[in-house]
Amino acid sequence: MNKVTSMVLILFATTFLISCASTNFENIENISKFEHVEDEKSLWKEVEEVQKKLVNSSAIYPDKDLQNYVNGVLDKLVAGNEVNWGADIEAHVIYNSDFNAAMWPNGFMIVHTGLLAHLDNEAQLATILGHELTHFLHRHSLKSRNKLVNITAALGTIRVAAVGAAYGLAYNGYDPSGIDDLHNAIALGFEGAYYGYSRATEFDADEGGFDLVKERGYDVKEAKAAMENMLVATELVEKKGEIPYFYSSHPKTKLRIKNYSKFINDLSKDVDLKSTISNGEQEYMNHIKNMLIDNLSLDIKKKNIKLAKRQIERYSKAYSDDYKSLYYEAMILLREDKKDEAIEKLSKSKQLNSQHPDTLKELGVLLYKKGDKDEAKDNFRNYLILQPDAKDADFIRRYLDE
């Protein structure tokens, strides 16, 4: 065991060996001046150490415009209350195709690209962010942790210590090629053991998030639509036993759809819902355009072909005749062993952009295998002009030397 892992284990074990911890705290938005309650300050300090490592890791999706957009929506929900709430509330987009968003106890939020890829508009995003923000405002993580400690102190300690150790490994020099799988494992443990949110807590977060969406003028009907989108997406996961932890730890999505239906129906008795302001569909799609392509490429690698197809359909609908869309449609067709159709898509992609290296390489490989060696070599030559130092450059040159 290395020093980093040992230190993290000791830190978490020491902190969580507590008994008779209080769970009766006032919601943060209801107090005039924020002050840490018992155990809260130490909890924040612990997660801040992990946070520092995370924000400087390869797990962060490298699109500042998207990060700024997500935080802009979050800022609308926060509405200038950060000082009153005593926290620097900020969201970071994680490059991971699992459907997840999570709020840490200190106001630090993570949102996976996989979640953003299956929402339709800003109002739906605001619903997710509002739900997570309510977890912070209602101190759900501290309440749940203390409840867990009171019931099973030893078990809670072991679980959380293991999570801390995993984070220590992940963000202190662990092989980055394994970061995605490790992050998934960490996330499962972190959400299930660290927060341990109950159905009642999740209902509370749904209700609080709905109120925030309503107060900020978003179309509240989109709150339910967000969950319906997530239900469709989860049903498309190829390996049903590996549904991401946003869904394994939260109540069943169908139940959450019922929650939002109730909120909407109750509100419609007093308010004309047609008068709600906006859902921000076009702006949302403009900000996730590049991310959609990157995220579906992860799903293709993970063999979640149905999920990738859904994202391709959304992308093509918004951006027709796009060379990237055609390229990834071809990649999906290859997974389905439809080589001739893949060649057709790649050829169209090349017509739209003859400078896309991946299209040229894949088209060259397929044509070579089909026996069209002269055309294949022409694509290979153009690929090497664009990517002379590619990892597979020597391999491609061997084709050309035949």
How does pLDDT run across 167-214, given as a tens digit for each residue? 333 333 333 344 444 444 344 334 433 444 677 888 888 999 999 999
CA–CA dist 58, 45 (Å, integer): 23
**How confident is the model over 47-62, as pLDDT tens digits?**
888 888 888 888 899 9
Nearest CA-CA partner of 120 in 309, 282, 342: 282
- Measured at the alpha carbon of residue 337, what is the angle toward residues 333 and 339, in degrees to the nearest 5? 70
Q: Which residues of 120-149 are buried (b: 16+ CB within 10 A; e: fewer)?
A: bbbbbbbbbbbbbbbbbbbbbbbbbbbbbb
Distance CA 70, CA 109 (A): 11
Give the pLDDT of residue 190: 43
**pTM of the full structure:** 0.80
For residues 206 and 256, the answer to whether their CB atoms sit within 8 Å is yes
What confidence tens digit (pLDDT) does each residue in 201-258 have? 888 889 999 999 999 989 999 999 999 998 888 888 876 655 554 544 445 788 889 9
Total Cβ atoms within 10 A of residue 201: 21
Beta strands in 76-199 (DSSP E): 90-94, 101-103, 108-112
Q: Domain spans of the chain?
A: 3-275, 321-401
Domain 321-401 homologous superfamily, CATH? Tetratricopeptide repeat domain (1.25.40.10)
249 or 280: which leads in pLDDT: 280
